[in-house]
Structure 1
Amino acid sequence: MKSPRIRFTHIAGLVLLSLLTITAGGWGVLALIFSGSSSDMVRSILAAAFAGVSLAALIALGSRRWRWQAVAGYFALFTVLLVWWLSIEPSNERDWQMDVAVLPYATIEGDLITVHNIRNFDYRSETDYTPAYYDKHFDLRELEAVDMVASYWMGPAIAHIFLSFAFTGGGNLAISIETRKEKGEDYSSIKGFFRQYELIYVVADERDVIRLRTNYRHDPPEDVYIYRISGSIENGRRLFLEYMRKINALKTQPEFYNTLTTNCTTSIWLNTRVNPTHPPFSWKILASGYVPELLYEYGRLDAGDLSFSELQQKSHINARAQPADDTADFSRRIREEFRNDAPATH
């Protein structure tokens, strides 16, 4: 008769194998649905077949006679599926949506940086616009501040976070890390786990990437906040250079977006690691809507003696952005309520 310890170990092992089988089965079905054949029918058949095999393997775990053969066969099949999935490669050659069709890149000559293909669309509505791009020279020595932009559309826990770099003389360059979608493709958080979107750094005029969210997105509307980051200006310069290296790398070697590991906030955090005092990782980076509060807690926002709720209220820019619209001093007008203009960086 088996001892209680052996029985417990046996049962725990079966439970673990069952959980692994269920997890592998669920992941495999979704991978085949989202990343499989271009034919809907073929994807459905393959996903259903893998679901059936997963269920059979799960049932076989209850049979002493077939248990280990089933486990070996199932995970051999799963390994084949995983090798196929890992072989899917990102590409820059697709039929892209107009707003992400043109990749930015930078020419770096010491402190002098020329940014090419800065997006500056003329919007009539969210989907009706005239594409336009320009190139601009930046002197890294003239970087004077870094701002964080947070845009909310579905409650306090979810926000799109991006940075804007301010240079002497009113030059602001916004960089938003997003999914690069093909024509007719919508965003799905679930699809974002399955190599369905390439990653793009949208380098844009603030009258484009901020005004789009404050003035032209209405379904649902977005609430946009701008926070001044505090810290050493040298940190900001290193971060800007890291962004430039990244956009150049993506032009030659595309990467996949991932809902969890390579999204707007985790990518920012990964880029900040060029600085020795980068913020530590936190669950609030995954729940992106709480990133401003996280930075406030670490003293990384230029808040003075304001509470976070007071700072948040002052940082809300929709009411200032809407009348500013496409004016030449848009960037200045949306910042009129900032506590001060002291230089600050990430």
Structure 2
Amino acid sequence: MALLNGLLLLGIAISTLWGVLALGHRLPRPWRWSGVGLWLAAGASWLWLAWQGASLAALVGIGVQLAGLLAWWRRLVPQKDRDWAEDVAHLATGRVTGKRLTLHHVRHFDWQTRDTARGGWERRVYDLERLSTVDLIVSSWGRPGIAHVLISFGFAGDDGSVDDFVAFSVEVRRASHERFSEIGGFFKQYELAIIAADERDAVRLRSNVRGERVTLYHVTLSAQARRRLLLALVASANDLAREPRFYHTVTANCTTLVFVMMRQIIEGLPLDHRLLLSGLLPGYVHEHGGLVDGYRLGELRRLGDITERAAQAHDAPDFSRRIRRGVPGWCD
């Protein structure tokens, strides 16, 4: 009996904490703190009843309270039209016509600070027959195991050299007044975005403006797999533009969505904790033969650290080529 009552007390405490976080992140501001206060007061009363031995009353009370909260929670739906932050104002969409991929809303910002940039969005056309490379770009900011992951596709020019790159990034779609919070990502605070960006934009924002450490890994996919991955990203972007989704810190983020696409290309990829700790993703890809052969992971990480090269090549017209100098799988 004591064990059951202890479990009830634990359940009430967890439910109360979850409710506090959900209401604190999703209630409109005029009612946020009053709603949180009322929820806490009610949860404390059920804890007190359970502590006093009135287990049935406490169970019914928290059950009714939680049912009401969940009914409200299920009615929260992601939005298409909000006052979006400038860097996620447009979602990527694409169309394939023959051998041509047309991407709409490719971002090409020249970042001045973390929050200000020149440039805009444009339509770009790519020849799928010239899709030549895929790179995994990992940007970290000092939190163990945590990083942001981008996928960059390279297209060959007339002379055969790869000189045109577009990077895809699965991101939080914030409103203009919002700041990112990992905790908020658990509680439907943000919508999900798939952004297509010029590689100079996507990399320099992280390495040169935010001061993050950026590492580039060349991915050894076949030509068919490269094309399938790109088109899978475009299809997911189109779906997201039609039907918005909530971002989730664990189940719908930059790593897990790319993994779902990769699983369509390479059968039998197992689930792994490194899919949740995105900073460890290169180890997962390396273990399954996706990175350049003949190098240990530590060597690939060291040689692929493009942070300093990105700073030195900040305004160079051949930025993408210069940051790849010395990266395994790329010629100087």
- Superposition TM-score tier, normalisation by shorter sequence: over 0.9
TM-score by length of 1: 0.88
Q: Which residue of 2 aligns with 1:174?
A: 167
Q: Deviations over 1:5-57 (max 9, x none)?
A: xxxxx333323322221111110111111101231xx2112111111211221
Of the candidates 120, 130, 136, which is equivalent to residue 124 of structure 2? 136
Structure 2 residue identity aligned to 1:340: G
Alpha-carbon distance, 1:94 to partner: 1.0
1:29-108 matches, within 5 Å, as 29-39=20-30, 42-64=31-53, 66-108=54-96
Structure 1 residue identity aligned to 2:156: T
Separation (CA, whole Å) in 1 of partners of 2:279 and 2:286: 13
Gaps of at least 5 residues in structure 1 are 1-9
Structure 1 residue identity aligned to 2:58: A
Separation (CA, whole Å) in 2 of partners of 1:331 and 1:277: 31
Alpha-carbon distance, 1:63 to partner: 4.5
Deviates more, 1:125-134 or 1:160-169: 125-134
Q: Which residue of 2 aligns with 1:5?
A: none
The reply on whether 1:232 has 2:215 as its aligned counterpart is no
Q: Which residue of 1 aligns with 2:16?
A: 25
Q: Which residue of 2 aligns with 1:337?
A: 326
Q: Which residue of 2 aligns with 1:282?
A: 272
Contact between 1:90 and 1:255, CA under 8 Å: does it hold in 2? yes
Deviates more, 1:177-186 or 1:226-235: 226-235
Separation (CA, whole Å) in 1 of partners of 2:215 and 2:72: 42
Q: Deviations over 1:221-267 (max 9, x none)?
A: 21100001123332222221111111111212111111111111112
Alpha-carbon distance, 1:122 to partner: 2.1
Alpha-carbon distance, 1:78 to partner: 0.5
Q: Which residue of 1 aligns with 2:233?
A: 243
State the identity %. 34
Contact between 2:135 and 2:153, CA under 8 Å: does it hold in 1? yes
Contact between 1:207 and 1:326, CA under 8 Å: does it hold in 2? no
Aligned residues: 326
Structure 2 residue identity aligned to 1:37: P
Structure 1 residue identity aligned to 2:110: D
The reply on whether 1:262 has 2:255 as its aligned counterpart is no
Separation (CA, whole Å) in 1 of partners of 2:5 and 2:227: 54
Q: Which residue of 1 aligns with 2:203?
A: 210
Contact between 2:136 and 2:150, CA under 8 Å: does it hold in 1? yes
Q: Which residue of 1 aligns with 2:284?
A: 294
Separation (CA, whole Å) in 1 of partners of 2:133 and 2:15: 46
Q: Tell me: CA distance 1:25–1:140, structure 2 relative to 1, closer, same or farther (3 Å).
A: same
Q: Which residue of 2 aligns with 1:6?
A: none
Q: Which residue of 2 aligns with 1:196?
A: 189
The reply on whether 1:326 has 2:310 as its aligned counterpart is no
Q: Deviations over 1:180-204 (max 9, x none)?
A: 1112211111111111111111110
The reply on whether 1:187 has 2:175 as its aligned counterpart is no
Q: Tell me: CA distance 1:340–1:30, structure 2 relative to 1, closer, same or farther (3 Å).
A: closer
Structure 1 residue identity aligned to 2:106: I
Alpha-carbon distance, 1:129 to partner: 1.6
Contact between 1:177 and 1:264, CA under 8 Å: does it hold in 2? yes
Deviates more, 1:66-75 or 1:160-169: 66-75
Q: Which residue of 1 aligns with 2:160?
A: none
Separation (CA, whole Å) in 2 of partners of 1:156 and 1:51: 33
Gaps of at least 5 residues in structure 2 are 158-162
Contact between 1:272 and 1:278, CA under 8 Å: does it hold in 2? no
**Displacement over 4 Å in runs of 4+:** none
Alpha-carbon distance, 1:150 to partner: 0.4
Separation (CA, whole Å) in 2 of partners of 1:166 and 1:43: 47
Of the candidates 90, 105, 114, which is equivalent to residue 117 of structure 1? 105
Alpha-carbon distance, 1:278 to partner: 5.9
What RMSD over aligned residues (CA atoms) do the two structures have, in Å? 1.8
Alpha-carbon distance, 1:211 to partner: 1.4
TM-score by length of 2: 0.92
Contact between 2:304 and 2:328, CA under 8 Å: does it hold in 1? no
